Copies of this chain bind each other. A is one copy, B any other.
């Protein structure tokens, strides 16, 4: 457990001053060819690795960015992380990641930790929207910030996914197949993705002249809400839905379970559209028609915005919107009228 070598050790081994070692390592200033080779040899001999913390203290740059998500077990977030890392590592940045489990206290703590570690910026999926600026840790945080898929009143740049257009396309597709009774299941209206999805649903119905039936809409309020029970309820309506747009993985499997219990088959009795990452539905049979996230695009946009800020770009908030794609499978067909 001996201490790792420092510049001093390298300088001694190479027979030069520590200043020269630093010059060689950072390729700055004038160094003779001879000194350079001796230093390089000494670095290898001693197994020297420069101490990032000391460097940080001196230069003021930690070369690290924080990523704050609700839960890394969520495949969307995990994939987003992987893609973000790929973008940032070429610029020499490391990524410190942490899950908040949507706990505002944890968000607060984490931002404090990020500030303590003097990270250079933060990319975040905040848990809440509508928190007044004065009590909003994100607004209070002075670090460069990129907020993804949330409307938060703060200085940060923003990346949005175009849930609204995505859902509009999906519902429009079902209308085109002849459906008029289309059930919508989605996440909470408390955050942007849920609100935008509902808007997209309404857009499509309005455009097609289909009347909105509130009984076919279920935007879940908590993780405890049961999509299965809600679907049960809808299927017992006088005019039950002939199509299902289920905008969440857990939501979809719950709703489908209810549908199966009534003996309905996909797509003959019920057309179904889901949402997710590329691999989420590999097992579905028949292949599921899906709204697909463009995760790489979103992550690249976030990383790009961050890198530009870190590079010194100033100016007002910017925002980037990334589309959702409708990928056709075999889970949708024309509606059949039952009695």
Contact = CB atoms under 8 A, between A and B. Distances in A.
Interface of A: 4, 49-54, 56-57, 62, 71-75, 77-79, 81-82, 85-86, 89, 94-99, 112-113, 115-118, 249-250, 252-253, 256, 260, 279, 281-285, 288
Question: Chain B CB within 10 Å — which of A62, A95, A117, A249 has the most?
Answer: A117
Given A4-B118, A249-B282, A285-B256, A82 B53 contact: no
Given A57-B57, A94-B113, A52 B118 contact: yes
24 contacts: A49-B112, A49-B115, A51-B116, A51-B118, A72-B72, A72-B78, A72-B79, A72-B85, A74-B78, A75-B75, A78-B78, A85-B99, A86-B99, A89-B98, A94-B96, A95-B96, A95-B97, A249-B282, A250-B279, A253-B282, A253-B283, A260-B285, A281-B283, A283-B288
A283 B286 CA distance: 11
A97 B85 CA distance: 9
Number of copies: 2
Given A52-B117, A282-B249, A72 B62 contact: no
Given A51-B57, A57-B57, A4 B115 contact: yes
Contacts of A99: 82, 85-86
A308 to B, nearest CB: 15
